[in-house]
Structure formats: structure tokens, C-alpha cells
Amino acid sequence: MGLKDKLMELQQKALEEISSAEDLKKINDIRVNLLGKKGPITEVLRGMRDLPKEERPNVGSFANKVRDELTNAITERKDRIEALKTAKRLEEEKIDVTLPGVPVKAGQPHIIMQVIDQIEKLFLGMGYQVVDGPEIEEDHYNFEMMNLPKDHPARDMQDTFYLTDNNLLMRTQTSPVQARTMEKHDFSKGPLKMISPGKVYRRDTDDATHSHQFHQIEGLVLDKHITMADLKGTLQLIARTIFGEEREIRLRPSYFPFTEPSVEVDVSCFKCNGNGCSVCKDTGWIEVLGAGMVHPNVLKISGIDADVYGGFAFGLGPDRFAMLKYGVDDIREFYLNDVRFLKQFSQRG
């Protein structure tokens, strides 16, 4: 059998093998075995050296034609296999656009953030500014500018996380935000009306009603002719916004170093309407926050003329507000990230 006949026989068998290949691995193996340096076509062509010179061009031309036809056949089969594979995948993955969509569960703000947002919305509507400040604070702003010098016994009321030698600390209240704002405020541009929400930190043992980290919102108003009546009206508005329009408040004398006079604020029980129950311990009232008129020393430390300007301040805990409003008896529930607990509280205004 001559070289030309061997090439024709090889071409016929190769075309049959190519046409029967059903996957890309098989067609790639055929290409390597058939057209590689050690393939049968190369072996046949090595026999050309034994041919007469006048026959070599004719056989060489035919061999190149066979190689090209097999190469084209392999390419076409490969393209066909890939097309079939793509068509099959599209058939399996097709989407019926007429089917109803799968509902996606939407998240919502944490219940404490809902309370904070509600309070912020209330005060923004009254022209207050919401001011933020650093959680790592200086002793000067956290204590001294709040009328708490280094030897003041009232410092024992707040167990503090100190980061350096009595200088840098984790703020125990959001009052230092007020101190920083008072330093910079220009009364020629109007009164100072602000709230300062944020996290605060105290060395406390975590239990059902205490946490070493919690939230606080403090409010401050400074201007000429501010009275206790202005404070009471503001506190009444807070209570009715959070706990219901029927709520009343009462003020009891208390002590805070940064206010004088100082008061504890109670709200009429929203569970029993003041008749007495387990929530209010049968008193009809629930303690919710502390407040008072800004101490003259606080104004003087900030460079404000206490004979001209005065004001009121208050501080409340959104964590406590949420516990009272929604009947949560363990503050730790807010921080456990238990979705079963958190999803009970739908978005509230």
C-alpha cells in the first residue's frame, strides 16, 4: 500500500472517530493523538524519504490537504459539542418569567435604634441639632467641664474605664459632647439646642438591668430666660411621644453635679394608667430619666456668662425606654442578636 493510500485510509478512520466524539475531552484527545508530533500522519510522512523525488511533492501536497481537513473537522466538532453543551445548560437553567417572585425578607433597625430614631425625629422637628462626639474621651471633658473636679466625690457614682493614667477614658456619659459644643457655640447666631445620642461605658457587672456598655441621649438648651417650665414641657413631650399621649410626668428633687436644681422624672404607668401594677411596683409611676437646670459652674467653665445665659439639660437611656415600652425584663436580650427576639419589634415610627 502506497503512502497516499495510507493517508486516505487514515483520513477515513479519523473522520469517523471525530464524528463520534461526544465530549470536549474526547475531541481534544483525538487532536493530540492524530496531529501531534508522534501521530500517525507524521509517521506516514516520514516514509516520504523513500519515495522518488518526482513523487514527493504530490504526496506532500496530499498529506497537507488531509491534515487541514482533519483539523477543520476537529474544530467543527468541538464547536458543535460546545454549542450542544450550552444549549443543554440553557434548557436546564431557563427561567420562567411568568412565575411569581420569591419574597425577600427585609431587615429593620434594631429596636434600640428605633427608639433613638424616634427621639431624634422629635427633636429635629423642634429645631435641635444632633451632635456626635468621640467615645474615647479626655477626663477634662468627661468630668471637669461637667463640674466634677478630680477630687469630687460624685465621681464614685460612675465607675470608669481609664485607658491611661486618669487622662483618656471610655466616656461614661454623652455630656462631654455638650461640653465641646458649648466651648464653640456663638450665641450671636442664636440659642444652643442640641441632643447627643451615643454609646457610653461604665465598669458595671452585667445583669438583667445593668450593662457595661449602653446607650444614652442627653439634651441641652441654652439661651436667655430659659426656665424650669421650659424643661417640664420638653420632658412631657418626650414622655407622650414614647409612651403615649395620655402620659403625665412628675418631677422629684434629686442631685446631679452638673445641674442645679436637679430632678428625677417619673412617667405615669402606661400599663395600669396609674392605678398600680407590677410594672410600676403599685406606685402608678415609673422613673425614666434625670434632668435639671444647667449648673452655673458648668457655664462658667465653658466661658459662658452665667448671669446672662441659662438653660436646662436632661439625660435618658434608650435601652431603658425600650425595656419599659415593650416589656423587656432583661437588657441583655438586646445584645444577644437572637433574631427570634428582635423580629418581634416591627418598624415603629
DSSP string, 115-139: HHHHHHHHHHTTT-EE----SEEEH
Dist. CA 172–CA 1, nearest whole Å: 101
106 falls within a domain: no
Q: What is the pLDDT of residue 349?
A: 42
Same domain, 209 and 263: yes
103 falls within a domain: no
158 falls within a domain: yes
Q: pLDDT 10s per residue in the chain (349 long)?
A: 566 777 787 788 888 888 888 888 888 888 888 777 777 777 766 666 666 777 777 777 777 787 888 888 888 888 888 888 888 888 888 777 888 888 888 788 999 999 999 999 999 999 999 999 999 999 999 999 999 888 877 676 668 888 987 789 999 999 999 999 999 999 999 999 999 999 999 988 888 888 899 999 999 999 999 999 999 999 999 999 999 898 999 999 999 999 999 999 999 988 887 788 877 888 999 999 999 999 999 999 999 999 999 999 999 999 999 988 888 888 999 988 888 888 888 764 4
Same domain, 9 and 41: yes
Closest C-alpha to 158, from 84, 93, 210, 119: 210
Closest C-alpha to 217, from 297, 294, 299, 322: 322
Torsion over CA: 147, 150, 151, 157 (sign): positive
Same domain, 89 and 117: no
Same domain, 8 and 133: no
Q: Are strands 192-201 and 285-294 parallel, antiparallel or unpaired?
A: unpaired
Could you tell me which residues come within 8 angstroms of residue 318 by beta carbon, excluding any fewer than 6 positions away? 112, 115, 116, 119, 197, 215, 216, 217
Same domain, 255 and 212: yes
Q: What is the pLDDT of residue 158?
A: 67
Could you tell me which residues come within 8 angstroms of residue 51 by beta carbon, excluding any fewer than 6 positions away? 3, 59
Q: Do the Cβ atoms of 128 and 162 come closer than 8 Å?
A: no
Dist. CA 243–CA 119, nearest whole Å: 12
217 falls within a domain: yes
Closest C-alpha to 18, from 80, 73, 91: 73
Q: What is the span of the domain harbouring residue 82?
A: 3-93
- Look at the chain and report how many structural domains it folds into: 2
Q: What is the pLDDT of residue 347?
A: 64
Residue ranges in the chain assigned as alpha helix (H):
3-20, 24-35, 40-46, 56-93, 111-124, 139-142, 175-184, 228-243, 296-301, 318-326, 339-342
Q: Give the domain CATH number at 251.
A: 3.30.930.10
Q: What is the pLDDT of residue 47?
A: 66
pTM, two decimals, is: 0.68
Q: What is the pLDDT of residue 342?
A: 87
268 falls within a domain: yes
Taking residue 117's Cβ as centre, other Cβ atoms within 10 Å add up to: 16
Looking at 63, 93, 123, the residue that finishes a domain is: 93
Q: Is 245 annotated to bind ligand?
A: no
Could you tell me which residues come within 8 angstroms of residue 346 by beta carbon, excluding any fewer than 6 positions away? 108
Same domain, 269 and 123: yes
Looking at 93, 128, 157, the residue that finishes a domain is: 93
Same domain, 299 and 196: yes
Provide the 8-state DSSP code for 295: P
Looking at 93, 127, 150, the residue that finishes a domain is: 93
Provide the 8-state DSSP code for 37: T
Dist. CA 70–CA 15, nearest whole Å: 7
Taking residue 48's Cβ as centre, other Cβ atoms within 10 Å add up to: 14
